[in-house]
């Protein structure tokens, strides 16, 4: 996040965002729900293939603002602020959510295990899988979108107010601000949704409810 935020060339931005999305995609693969199974081929291989496509696409989209700014040589300070500072943040958040949804798409297709309050597996639900992936994607978008956006806004006001007199000190100050925001956002994003997700009876498929009268069910959301 830190290295990506200080890039001024589209090529360098693409490279570092490729590295960033590779790391977060690997993290998603390791910490997803392990219920989905596949026949005839490795589901893990399919997820890696989908992940590589999502990583490449996300890195390209993330580098687009800089490519656009460098291509058309935008001179307006307002346009420079929007294209180089403000626009990359929502793009990074959106692409972070996108990679989660793509890599964990088998949970949409195959469903995940749903348990009652005693931990007994009631069945496998696609609706629970969709809920788990969407919650994780949203929390990831909030984490990295805010971490990319808020420091840029703060640094803009720091520079305008001339709180930092020495231009060489702006780099360390920027890094400190980014690290502080990231450290603050990590527990926020992880606590947005419970690790043990909850889903109501009426939100589940009727075919998996025939064996129980429970009204609340639980699932492993993943991280």
The pLDDT of residue 95: 95
- For residue 36, the SS3 value is coil
In terms of phi and psi (left: phi > 0; alpha: psi -120 to 50; beta: otherwise), the region of 220 is beta
The DSSP symbol for 104 reads T
The pLDDT of residue 38: 52
Rounded Cα distance between 140 and 213, Å, is 34
Q: Under 8 Å CB-to-CB from 123, ≥6 apart: which residues?
A: 113, 114, 205, 207, 208, 211
Rounded Cα distance between 177 and 119, Å, is 43
88-103 and 126-161 helices cross at what angle (nearest 10)?
Answer: 160
Rounded Cα distance between 66 and 23, Å, is 22
Residue 39 near residue 109 (C-beta atoms within 8 A): no
What stretches in the chain show pLDDT beneath 50? Answer: 40-41
The pLDDT of residue 41: 46
């Amino acid at each position: 996040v830190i290295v990506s935020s200080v890039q001024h060339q589209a090529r360098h931005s693409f490279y570092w965002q490729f590295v960033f999305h590779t790391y977060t995609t690997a993290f998603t693969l390791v910490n997803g729900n392990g219920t989905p199974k596949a026949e005839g081929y490795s589901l893990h291989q399919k997820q890696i293939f989908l992940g590589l496509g999502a990583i490449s696409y996300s890195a390209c989209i993330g580098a687009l603002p800089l490519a656009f700014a460098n291509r058309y040589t935008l001179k307006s300070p307002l346009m420079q602020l929007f294209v180089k500072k403000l626009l990359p943040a929502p793009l990074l958040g959106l692409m972070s959510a996108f990679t989660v949804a793509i890599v964990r798409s088998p949970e949409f297709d195959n469903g995940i295990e749903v348990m009652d309050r005693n931990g007994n597996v009631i069945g496998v639900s696609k609706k629970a899988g969709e809920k788990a992936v969407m919650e994780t994607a949203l929390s990831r978008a909030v984490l990295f979108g805010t971490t990319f956006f808020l420091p840029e806004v703060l640094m803009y006001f720091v520079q305008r107010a001339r709180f930092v007199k020495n231009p060489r000190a702006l780099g360390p100050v920027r890094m400190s601000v980014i690290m502080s925001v990231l450290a603050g956002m990590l527990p926020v994003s992880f606590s947005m949704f419970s690790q043990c997700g909850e889903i109501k009876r009426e939100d589940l498929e009727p075919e998996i409810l025939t064996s129980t009268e429970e009204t609340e069910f639980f699932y492993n959301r993943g991280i």
